Amino acid sequence: MKDNKSSVDASNSSSIESTRRDFIRKYGKLAAITPIAVTTLMSPSTSAAPKSCRGNGNKRC
């Protein structure tokens, strides 16, 4: 009975590891690219606030 349980645990463990590897393979590239893309989008030169408020005298913020 104990041998049967350990074989079930081993197959369950390998299934979990396989699932983790599949997840990392699928979403690993996204996890590497997302912080760079968010940083680029949030840079002051591309944000809407500096572009909408020029301070040229006619338009006050």
Residue boundaries of the structural domains of the chain: 2-43
Give dist(CA 33, CA 5) in Å, integer. Answer: 42
Q: What is the pLDDT of residues 1-59, one digit of tens each?
A: 455 555 556 678 889 999 999 999 999 988 888 888 888 887 766 555 555 555 565 65
Q: In the prediction, which pLDDT does 43 show? A: 73
> According to the model, what pLDDT value does residue 49 have?
55
Q: Which pTM value belongs to this model?
A: 0.41
Query: How far is the CA of 47 from the CAs of 3, 5, 41, 61, in angstroms?
Result: 62, 58, 7, 16
